[in-house]
Amino acid sequence: MSINLPPEHVDVNIHPTKKEVSLLNQERIIEKIKDAIEEKLMNCNNTRIFQTQALNSSALTQANTRKDKGTEVSTPTGEKSQKIPVSQMVRTDPRDPSGRLHTYWQGQTSNLEKKSGLVAVRNIVRSRRNPKDAGDLSSRHELVTEIDYNLHPGLFDIVKNCTYVGVADEVFALIQHNTLLYLVNVVNVSKELMYQQALCRFGNFNAIQLSEPAPLLELLTMALKDDESMSDVNEKEKLEIAEVNTEILKENAEMINEYFSIHIDQGGNLTRLPVVLDQYTPDMDRLPEFMLTLGNDIAWDVEKECFRTAAAAIGNFYALHPPILPNPSGKGIRLYKKNKDSMESAGQADNDLTST
């Protein structure tokens, strides 16, 4: 506070160190100070300053071209500024960690430009330590590069900066980005997430130890019995198929254990599964189907396709599927869906968003 007074109205001989002075007509001065502060406080209702969050360019362009946009207001400096309509205001802050899906995206980095360089450096280090692994890592590196190359910037921004709203049903969830709501197929998105996680953690998985070893032959037999496409095959042929797939998995046990931490002992028992996402355990009811996919659908002879199909199988197993419940009739199992046909058609329509 700066108070200008005539020198003759000030008496400085009140305190030795001049911490106090005496002013002539102090009551009038105090009254003027009170009036000035009161005037400032009363004017705060007329002009206010808010911290706003910038919208994307497309939203701003649309707002500027609308005729029914907000009224113009004058600032204390005399300049005119446009008031953003209520319908264009962002009500969520994507920087809030509690509302961002990206915080649960373990193993991903925001700086995609550095990822390829880090992968290349790790490849060089691993190849020096173990030259025979160089070819394996180069194939995995190509798959990771393909993911980065096919990245859609718009969709990546939506997923990274969205706010999770809630579950719509067994398959779909709602997210918000700026002022828009998106309906997301959680099954397809989680498949892609787990597929990318399987490639990012390639050769560096933690393991889930099964409480009891699971015999591969029994798992494969269960999967074949529940497979609708195998309904015309007799039990003897199903057993033969299960035995063949068991031998295939045992022959490739060392490779899938080293790269994907899926451990199969010499007796043909599954003992460990990989940790694809921290603090997440897959639906073990889908374990028989997963083992059948590993034995039957993996391209073991082609290195790159082997890694791709194995990561895809892991992604499908670890994805968030609707729960499997026993059929009351006792004939096999069924997916807990209200209308399977309608969900499949909806998933196909949403494929452009979720597949990328």
Give the pLDDT confidence of 124-174 residue by residue, as tens digits: 555 555 544 444 578 888 888 888 888 888 888 998 899 989 888 888 999
Pairing of strands 172-177, 180-185: antiparallel
Which residue carries 């003897």 as its tokens? 236
Which residue carries 């994507």 as its tokens? 94
Long-range contacts, stretch 30-38, CB < 8 angstroms, 24+ apart: 33/1, 33/3
Specify whether the CB–CB gap between 98 and 165 falls below 8 A.
Answer: no
pLDDT band with cut points at 50, 70 and 90 for residue 182: very high
Pairing of strands 10-11, 22-23: antiparallel
Q: Is residue 132 part of a domain?
A: no
- What separation, in Å, do the N-terminal and C-terminal C-alpha atoms of the chain show? 61
Residue that wins the pLDDT comparison between 216 and 347: 216
| Per-residue pLDDT at 127 | 53
101's CB contacts (< 8 A; 6+ apart) are 159, 160, 162, 164, 175
Q: Is residue 256 part of a domain?
A: yes
| Per-residue pLDDT at 51 | 67
SS3 content of the chain, % helix, strand, coil (to 5): 50, 15, 35
Q: Is residue 297 part of a domain?
A: yes
Number of domains in the chain: 2
Q: State the Cα torsion 281-338-345-317 to the nearest 10°.
A: 20
d(CA 293, CA 297): 5
Least confident segment among 53-57, 185-189, 284-288: 53-57
Residue that wins the pLDDT comparison between 87 and 344: 87
Q: Is residue 89 part of a domain?
A: no
pLDDT band with cut points at 50, 70 and 90 for residue 176: very high
| Per-residue pLDDT at 337 | 42
Q: Is residue 237 part of a domain?
A: yes
Q: Is residue 308 part of a domain?
A: yes
| Per-residue pLDDT at 102 | 52
d(CA 219, CA 230): 15
| Per-residue pLDDT at 92 | 59
Please state whether the predicted TM-score (pTM) of the whole model is above 0.85. Answer: no
Structure tokens at 247: 């031998």
Q: Is residue 67 part of a domain?
A: no
CA 79 and chain centroid, separation: 43
Q: Is residue 291 part of a domain?
A: yes
Which value, in Å, is the radius of gyration of the alpha carbons in the chain?
33
| Per-residue pLDDT at 281 | 87
Task: Give the DSSP H/E element, type plus range, for residue 294.
Answer: helix 287-297
Query: What is the domain range of residue 216?
Result: 205-318
pLDDT at 35 over 80: yes
What is the DSSP secondary-structure string of 176-193? EETTEEEEEEHHHHHHHH
| Per-residue pLDDT at 68 | 47
Q: Span 223-229, mean pLDDT?
A: 79
pLDDT band with cut points at 50, 70 and 90 for residue 112: very low
